[in-house]
Structure 1
Amino acid sequence: MALALMRGISYDQKARLILNVANRGTLTQLDDEAVVEVPCTVDRDGAHPLAGSALPEVGVGLVTTMKYVERQTIQAATTGSASAALRALATHPLIDSVRVARALLDDARASFPDLDY
């Protein structure tokens, strides 16, 4: 995939790839700055999300929840915020519990003392 992307941009060899790109209106349920993984065409001007990419109704809740989790995780990593880390873990659909999230965070702190939470 990386080679197809480089060829597309360098040699204007059009390719269709699934890429992570800035949303910019591709998925209307997410803001423009959100990074989304969608089908794109690639050419010398870069990656262009294909029109018609849409979330099925059943997936909207999961995708918006996971975007929130990603952003809280990034905030925790870049600021050292324990509360952001806790929010990320507690909101994740596979955890979905403040008690479990707190236990996981405590275990991570014990296992990785360099975590400055």
Structure 2
Amino acid sequence: MNVEEIRDYCLSKEGVTESFPFDETTLVFKVIKMFCLLGLDDSRISLKNDPEKNIELRAHYSAIIPGYHLNKQHWNTIELNGTVPGDLMKEMIDESYDLIVKSLTKKQKEELSKL
């Protein structure tokens, strides 16, 4: 997947917003809380996942490394160099989104359902 495909896929999810809260080159996708960071200048994406699955993914793909400037147990950074299959990228985006939605408070989930 390329940057535009990732952007379109993230924005297709319920309640997702995008912004540049850190700098002009790191696009952040939120569903109330951050679930994806997309580096526009270095073609990298950072996604949250289950710690055990992160270890497995890193062992299988050299393009998947511990999260850059993030909790390395819970976040992966993936180089968008074509070595990680698109279906797996979508699966990882889905899992990151789902983990964040599950972590929302009851009030936040109610806010999300109104969007």
Taking structure 1 as the reference length, what is the TM-score of the superposition? 0.28
Relative to its length, the structure with more helix (as a share) is 1
| Structure with more of its chain in strand, by fraction | 2
Return the TM-score normalized by structure 2: 0.28
Higher Cα radius of gyration: 1
